[in-house]
Amino acid sequence: MAGGWARDGAVQEQIDASIEDELKRMQARRLPGGESRTHCAECEEPIPEARRQALPGVKLCIDCQQERDRRPEQRAGINRRGSKDSQLK
């Protein structure tokens, strides 16, 4: 119980909030141009058409993009979602 996840929980809630939030963040920081991939560059999973249209030049599926966005230590708390909904506004 020395992981300190409680303190980092708020950050994790924001990261897990929703795919839509993730898309907004990615659009906000602008991906490099180029063609969207039909399949993830890392895991070869098909990338949904809606995601490809929303994110020109997208290279990763949602799962891989989120993994890339997260720091490894943050991922440890992935299953804590939903436990602190009251902190979401």
11 is a contact residue toward Zn ion (CB under 5 A): no
d(CA 14, CA 69): 12
Q: How many CB atoms lie within 10 A of CB 2?
A: 4
Q: What angle do CA 78, 84, 88 make, to 5 degrees?
A: 100
- Min dist CB 58 to Zn ion, Å, is 11
Which residues in 27-86 contact Zn ion (CB under 5 A)? Answer: 40, 42-43, 45, 61, 64
Nearer to Zn ion, 40 or 55 (CB): 40
Q: Report the interface residues with Zn ion, using CB under 5 A.
A: 40, 42-43, 45, 61, 64
